[in-house]
């Protein structure tokens, strides 16, 4: 089942294996244009049925990390075109994950020195990297955010739509809206972070208003069936507090996405346990609410574990993260039940080819 093709109204995928989005920091921060090394990295992994790119900032202020390739101008779109061409030439499909880091950022990462944007002024107790005086990355606490004004919120919606338009210009097969893991759209969702008293705070519908406005704006540029939305139920990354009513919150959003005809709902389990539990009610609840493709991500390392959730009908695609970093031929290794290369965490965000394009294949 894992190696069977998957067909939706918009896409034909060679198998049900997705490469999860993973930040790798191999671009030049000054222009954020993808380079030939990035194209080679994704080409090597194009046997996945679907590649979801690393998070791609939609504006300069959306950046939260050093050296992330972006998608807010024509030069960046032109830089992504050789990447998508390489993936397509190798038989793969690829979505761009469009991303606003929100308060998980620092003014030194923004060309105009602007403060991080947030749902509120509440800072996050985590770190990022900024350029040091000698050019080397320096770890710092994330900066004090400024709550977005209503006008700025409208601007963010427009930036997501513009990035989606550029993604299609760059040859991507679709886009994923990053609404998970404590970044801007998730910050609006989280009642412990979002203390607004306007139309974007308070009720569940208000806290998801920005995400749904982004979905609608992106759907004006990309066919809805080529859009994915990522969520992280029970997640506490980047200063989030676990949702107080997850079995209300996430099925509610799933129904809203289903009503809009969105093609993919990508569910990331940060704790790597509940998504594998056949008795847990979250994935069945999402299945009842959403009739597009469900992507399950979190702790999958073997074909057997993946087949189990597919057989239960709780997911249509399985996304693998770190195993794809160290195993460009992960699909074939899973098919043969072959040993997997071990990843080198020290090279996850380091510059250069080491730990990026030099892992061996079978």
Low-confidence ranges of the chain (pLDDT < 70): none
pLDDT in the model for residue 92: 98
pLDDT in the model for residue 318: 98
Parallel, antiparallel or unpaired: strands 12-13 and 6-7 = antiparallel
Main-chain phi, psi angles of 300, to 5 degrees:
-80, 125
Q: Are 171 and 80 in contact (CB under 8 A)?
A: yes
pLDDT in the model for residue 133: 81
* Cα dist from 301 to 12, 232, 321, whole Å: 24, 19, 9
Q: Please enumerate in sequence order all residues whose Cβ is within 8 A of that of 151, keeping only pairs 6 or more positions apart, or say none.
A: none
Which string of b and e fits 75-108 if b means at least 16 CB within 10 Å? ebbebbebbbebbbeeebbbbbbbbbbbbbbbee
The catalytically annotated residue of 183, 208, 250, 356 is 183
pLDDT in the model for residue 136: 81
And the tokens for 68? 């992330």
And the tokens for 145? 């955010």
pLDDT in the model for residue 12: 97
pLDDT in the model for residue 271: 83
pTM: 0.98
Q: Please give the domain boundaries of the chain with CATH numbers for all domains.
A: 6-347 (3.20.20.70)
Q: Are 249 and 243 in contact (CB under 8 A)?
A: yes
pLDDT in the model for residue 9: 87
pLDDT in the model for residue 193: 97
Residue (of 201, 197, 29, 176) closest to 105 by Cα position: 29
pLDDT in the model for residue 91: 98
Concatenate the DSSP letters of all residues of 57-74 into one string: ESSSTT--STT----SSH
Residue (of 25, 26, 2, 28) closest to 15 by Cα position: 2
Indicate if 183 belongs to the active site.
yes
And the tokens for 297? 């991500």
pLDDT in the model for residue 147: 98
Q: Which secondary structure element, helix H or strand E, spans residue 83, and what is its range?
A: helix 74-89
Q: Please enumerate in sequence order all residues whose Cβ is within 8 A of that of 30, keeping only pairs 6 or more positions apart, or say none.
A: none
**For 301-327, what is each residue's pLDDT tens digit?**
999 999 999 999 999 999 999 999 999
pLDDT in the model for residue 134: 76
Q: How far apart (Å, rounded) are the C-alpha atoms in residues 210 and 204?
A: 11
């Amino acid at each position: 089942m894992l190696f069977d093709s998957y067909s939706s109204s918009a896409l034909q995928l060679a198998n049900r294996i997705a490469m999860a989005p993973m930040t790798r920091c191999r671009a030049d921060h000054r222009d954020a244009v993808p380079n030939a090394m990035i194209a080679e990295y994704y080409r090597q992994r194009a046997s996945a049925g679907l590649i979801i790119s690393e998070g791609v900032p939609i504006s300069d202020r959306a950046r939260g990390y050093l050296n992330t390739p972006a998608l807010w101008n024509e030069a960046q779109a032109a830089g992504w075109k050789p990447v998508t061409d390489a993936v397509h030439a190798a038989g793969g499909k690829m979505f761009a994950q469009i991303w606003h880091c929100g308060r998980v950022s620092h003014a030194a990462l923004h060309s105009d020195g602007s403060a991080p944007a947030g749902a509120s002024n509440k800072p996050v107790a985590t770190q990022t990297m900024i350029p040091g005086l000698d050019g080397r990355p320096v770890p710092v606490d994330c900066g004090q955010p400024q709550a977005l004004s209503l006008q700025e919120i409208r601007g963010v919606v427009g930036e997501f739509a513009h990035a989606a338009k550029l993604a299609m210009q760059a040859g991507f097969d679709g886009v994923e809206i990053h609404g998970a893991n404590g970044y801007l759209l998730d910050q609006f969702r989280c009642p412990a972070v979002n203390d607004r008293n306007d139309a974007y705070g308070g009720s569940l519908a208000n806290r998801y208003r920005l995400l749904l406005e982004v979905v609608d704006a992106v759907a004006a540029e990309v066919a809805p069936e080529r859009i994915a939305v990522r969520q992280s139920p029970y997640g506490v990354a980047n200063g989030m507090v676990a949702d107080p009513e997850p079995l209300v919150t996430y099925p509610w959003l799933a129904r809203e996405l289903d009503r809009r005809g969105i093609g993919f709902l990508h569910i990331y389990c940060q704790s790597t346990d509940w998504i594998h539990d056949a008795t847990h009610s979250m994935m069945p609840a999402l299945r009842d609410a959403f009739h597009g493709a469900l992507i399950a991500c979190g702790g999958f390392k073997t074909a057997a574990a993946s087949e189990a959730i597919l057989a239960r009908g709780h997911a249509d695609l399985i996304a693998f993260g770190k195993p794809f970093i160290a195993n460009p031929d992960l699909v074939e290794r899973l098919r043969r039940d072959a040993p997997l290369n071990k990843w080198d965490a020290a090279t996850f965000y380091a510059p250069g080819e080491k730990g990026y394009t030099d892992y061996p294949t079978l």
